[in-house]
Structure 1
Amino acid sequence: MAFRKRIRRSYQRPIVSVIIPARNEEACLEACLESIVEQDGIPFEIIVVDDGSTDGTRKIAESFSAVRVMSAPPLPEGWCGKSNAVAFGARHARGDWFLFTDADTFHKPGSLARAVGEAEKHGADLLSYSPEQVVKSFWERAVMPVVFAELAETFKPREVSDPRSPAAAANGQYLLVRRHAYELIGGHASIAHTLLEDVDLARSIKEAGGRLHFRYGGEMVKTRMYRNFRQLREGWTKNLALLFPDARQLAAQRMLEFAWIAAALACGTAAAFFQRFFIAAGFTALAVALWTKFLGRIRKAHFGAFSESLAIFGLPIFAWLLRRSVNSYAKGAVTWKGRSYPAPPEEPVTKPVAEKV
């Protein structure tokens, strides 16, 4: 009732607080902030929460006169760094809407006003876009389409956006949430222990009776998540076991899929070499059928043809990352951005003590 009572359309222009947690983001923060300060059509403020950066992150943020720069408070026991940083920013924000977005995002002109309009149109308490994924290296092009194809299969936007469905998901790179909804569920304090804060925030809002609106938003925002293999390995090790509950089974399925495609191609090639053309035709047909099915799944991830062609090499890497993620949690801890996190507890922990900016 609290959500439905509050969801009357407002005819005042809402104020958006854009909250960006930043920990050693000097490589991308400037471009992110430049894309946000140029937004128009809606009143907004920008808050960067420096989460213990040791590089030039804070200096870059302070070079923008329109940006409020804060220091995240010490990390309370049981909290994850990102949740602690954005919770601190939210407590100092003035907006009717909060946009939680990452430092490695780039926001298209006018996207902020359009996003709020879209959320209002759909009566959403939380709107989330899955950004266009910018990929440049071989590892990015091979692995990222495979991961995002699996995400598209697991978290179907139509089901997530359906209030009758229990499905809930969001992408933490772009989370636009009504302040009232955020505060009603207890904010990030209610999910402080989880490393999958985007999905859990969406789930909490939906379980409380709020509405979600989730879709691919490549025309609104883009990002390059990982710039080298080490970052890619560390990031997906943190997330994959949490995103896919049957991670071991999925790893086996994808490894088997790769083996079947590779074996069919190898056998077809060998048969043709030995002039067993009927057998070669059979194996070639099998390889084409398997490849077509694989490509149909990959195309749901919104990557270009070149990346789609390399995604076959991402299958065994994805399977390895899945197993690595499961094993890391089984051992009791994962590492992310220089911090080691234990396996999350069953119950939420207490809120951090507010500190001065």
Structure 2
Amino acid sequence: MSRLFRAYRLAAGGFFAYKAAALLVNALTFPRLRPRPTPAGPRVSLLVPARDEAHNLPRTLPGLLAQGAHEVLVLDDGSTDGTAQVARQLGVRVLPGRPLPGDWHGKPWACQQLARAATGDVLIFTDADVFWHPGALGAVLHELERSRADLLSVYPRQHNVTPGERLLTPLVDAVLLTLLPAPLLRLPHASAAAANGQLMAFRREAYQRVGGHALVRAELLEDVTFAARLKARGGRLALALGGPGVGVRMYRSYPESAAGFGKNAAAFHGRSRALLVASAAWHLAAYTLPWLLPARLPGVTWLRAAGLLERPAVNLVTGRRTPADLAEGLLGPVTPLLALPVYLRALRPRVSWKGRDYAQSGAE
């Protein structure tokens, strides 16, 4: 057995051991929302930035309106598909978005406008594809109070319908739960931060203290960056899993997933081309290479098993427990190959999203 193989086996084994340990810690400690009645106070503004979301709003807005919030506002961010008309027909107050300033990105600008119009003591930004089931708002407010957080970000339970959207979309949960043990969030350092822009609940005072979304006005990965910068300024951060109360259907196909993840991958890797390439190569080595090596080599069978079991274990923790959810583990060996278009998109100097073109700062 060569030294190279021994080094590889040790590195890959350590990688999977760390991820398994992080997942176990999170299974025991990561907060999960439980549906609760909406309390009488504080006043809550539910804020929805929407750009070409006419297909999602009829499915998601009724649940949002039923939460009993002080107000629900939708900002129509230059849609061309009738988003504003659909939202008004559903009984929501619609704000027309102002033109995008040259030094802002689309979603932060939409959120900043919503915050200016909102009158609540708690500002909850939620994407148009997020499902709010009965008791969800009560659960969010309870966790916000229990954690004493200035920002509570929730990871909704994934609803993946077609085979194509199962290929990459569930990796959102895997990245969070196998790489960031929840207790690390208590550390004061800003690097110990994560967030999900699909649902971010702020105490208004804390949001205004840091300047609102102007804090991340030109960021593609605005959610994680906001959490880190708020924490760096003394803010308190908390995360939770959506459980049965909050769900999402992010993407509806494999190409849509690859495009969506590719938009954020460069920022997630510190806008470093070298780190992007190294990440792609390492995941091929950890998940795919064991299936190309002879099974008789010591440790190869264990590496194969680790790659197969990771995604089902993550799905169990998040509450995704149907046979189809658990069968996603079979994708383990090919997931790095399926993710290659994400890396290739992230390596480009510019990226397009929802009809807007952005420079990937630091990647040019």
- Choose from 173, 176, 182 the match for 1:148: 173
Q: 1:39 aligned to 2:67?
A: yes
1:289 alignment partner AA: W
In structure 2, what is the Cα distance between the partners aligned to 1:151 and 1:251?
18
- Choose from 288, 292, 300 the match for 2:305: 292
Aligned to 2:330: 309
Q: 1:17 aligned to 2:45?
A: yes
- Choose from 159, 177, 188 the match for 1:164: 188
RMSD: 2.2
Report the Cα offset of residue 296 of structure 1.
4.5
Report the Cα offset of residue 294 of structure 1.
1.7
- Choose from 344, 349, 352 the match for 1:335: 352
- Three-state SS of the structure 1 residue aligned to 2:79 is coil
* Number of residue pairs matched by the alignment: 312
Q: Is the Cα contact below 8 Å between 1:143 and 1:311 reproduced in 2? A: no
Matches within 5 A, 1:238-277: 238-245=263-270, 246-264=275-293, 267=294
In structure 2, what is the Cα distance between the partners aligned to 1:312 and 1:140?
17
Report the Cα offset of residue 64 of structure 1.
2.3
Q: Is the Cα contact below 8 Å between 1:50 and 1:72 reproduced in 2? A: yes
- Three-state SS of the structure 2 residue aligned to 1:21 is strand
Q: Is the Cα contact below 8 Å between 2:168 and 2:335 reproduced in 1? A: yes
Tell me: CA distance 1:95–1:147, structure 2 relative to 1, closer, same or farther (3 Å): closer
- Three-state SS of the structure 1 residue aligned to 2:90 is coil
In structure 2, what is the Cα distance between the partners aligned to 1:250 and 1:33?
38
Aligned to 2:86: 60
Q: Is the Cα contact below 8 Å between 1:252 and 1:319 reproduced in 2? A: no
- Choose from 88, 94, 98 the match for 1:73: 98
Aligned to 2:140: 115
Residues 148-170 of structure 1 deviation map (CA, whole Å, 9 limit, x = unaligned): 3234334443322x153431111
- Choose from 253, 260, 279 the match for 1:235: 260
Gaps of 5+ in 1: 1-10, 269-281, 346-357
Q: Using structure 2 for the length normalisation, give the TM-score.
A: 0.80
Tell me: CA distance 1:118–1:143, structure 2 relative to 1, closer, same or farther (3 Å): same
In structure 2, what is the Cα distance between the partners aligned to 1:103 and 1:190?
22
Q: Is the Cα contact below 8 Å between 1:141 and 1:310 reproduced in 2? A: no
Q: Using structure 1 for the length normalisation, give the TM-score.
A: 0.81
- Three-state SS of the structure 1 residue aligned to 2:334 is helix
Q: Is the Cα contact below 8 Å between 2:124 and 2:200 reproduced in 1? A: yes
In structure 2, what is the Cα distance between the partners aligned to 1:147 and 1:316?
17
The structure whose Rg is larger is: 1
1:300 alignment partner AA: V
- Three-state SS of the structure 2 residue aligned to 1:312 is coil
1:215 alignment partner AA: A
- Three-state SS of the structure 1 residue aligned to 2:183 is helix
Report the Cα offset of residue 57 of structure 1.
1.3
Q: Is the Cα contact below 8 Å between 1:146 and 1:318 reproduced in 2? A: no
- Three-state SS of the structure 2 residue aligned to 1:143 is coil
In structure 2, what is the Cα distance between the partners aligned to 1:147 and 1:16?
27
- Choose from 251, 266, 275 the match for 1:226: 251
Q: 1:195 aligned to 2:223?
A: no
Q: Is the Cα contact below 8 Å between 2:50 and 2:77 reproduced in 1? A: yes
